[in-house]
Amino acid sequence: MRDERPPVWFMRQAGRSLPEYRRLREGVPMLESCARPDMVTEITLQPVRRYGVDAAVFYSDIVVPLKAIGMDVDIKPGVGPVVARPIRSRDDLEQLRPLEPDDVDFVDESVRALVQELGATPLIGFAGAPFTLASYLVEGGPSKHHQVTKAMMHSDPDLWHELLSRVAGISATFLQVQIAAGASVIQLFDSWAGALSAADYARFVQPHSTEVLSAVTDVPRIHFGVGTSEFLGLMGDAGAEVVGVDWRLPLDEASRRVPGKPVQGNLDPALLGADWSVIEAEVDRVIAEGRNAPAHVFNLGHGVLPDTDPDVLARVVDRVQAAGA
């Protein structure tokens, strides 16, 4: 077992719970803020200044590239991404043209500015994985059961694979732009993949996640999904160097399921509202379990919740950075 402390950063650390973020975003719609390099730069830097985390996370959203190719998509407060014209037929696929780097020139500008500001602190870029983006496109918004998505997947697999292949190309280009501008690491998010069985994931999703990851081999890659414990090995086989783990599975067991790969995670974000003695013990447990893996990046098991106390996150960072000192 290793004694050194793991690096630490948090998913959704840029924004949400920070009062300085809310002040800056006041009156500015989410997708507009993602297209303004001055705001993107400031919001990305805020948690680095406040917490001293070991990496910055690029402030953006997984639907930014969809908006950039002209799709009528918006993020409604309290709801999430909403698509005006869902993709339900082959004709609807024509909405999904390839993403060109010039479509997201604001991303290039933002990343270059951030790399200059961050110096030695790495910048993590990200994109949505094909299944999660496709689920929004097919359902028209967030879905609890993904009925329309699963019906298409099984009833018209040719349409499904064409849809995911197009989305994979869009996500790959979005990541390539970030890497070319200076991002040091990328993460592919599959927030809704846990709605699937392992068999469906292997048949309908994994090849397209592999498609994205195989297109971005210049930097280390992290692959994260929520509720994916039962097919964590399949996610590991998709091609990323690091596998993100949600809070449902201990990291030592996760490491057994993705042998030879570093793991990332996995403090339950809901526990950040508990007493400090509880949080402290959980942080120590996660670090101890992570030492059974080849390497460990300390993180939450999902994103920072909006009502999380920033001072608690600061104490978590301090606790992790003191481990093994």
Q: Which residues are annotated as catalytic?
A: 12, 16, 25, 61, 136
Give the span between the Cα atoms of 225 and 128, in whole angstroms. 10
Task: Please give the Cα distance from 288 to 74 (Å, whole number).
Answer: 41
Alpha-carbon span 209 to 167, nearest angstrom: 10
β-pairing, 80-83 vs 73-76, is: antiparallel
Calpha distance 162→220 (Å, rounded): 27
Q: Are 278 and 286 in contact (CB under 8 A)?
A: no
- Round to whole Å and give the CA distance between 58 and 106: 12
The CA angle 227-232-235, to the nearest 5 degrees, is 105
Q: Return the structure tokens found at 50.
A: 């406040």
The helix (H) or strand (E) run that includes residue 222 is strand 221-225
247: which 2 tokens?
């809070």
Residues in the chain: 325
Cis peptide before 292 (omega within 30 of 0): no
Contact 268, 238 (CB under 8 A): no
Q: 300: part of which helix (H) or strand (E)?
A: strand 296-300
Rounded to 5°, angle at Cα 87 from 16 and 77:
20
Q: In 3-state terms, what secondary structure has residue 307?
A: coil
Phi-psi region of 29 (alpha: psi -120 to 50; beta: other; left: phi over 0): beta
The three-state secondary structure class of 43 is: helix
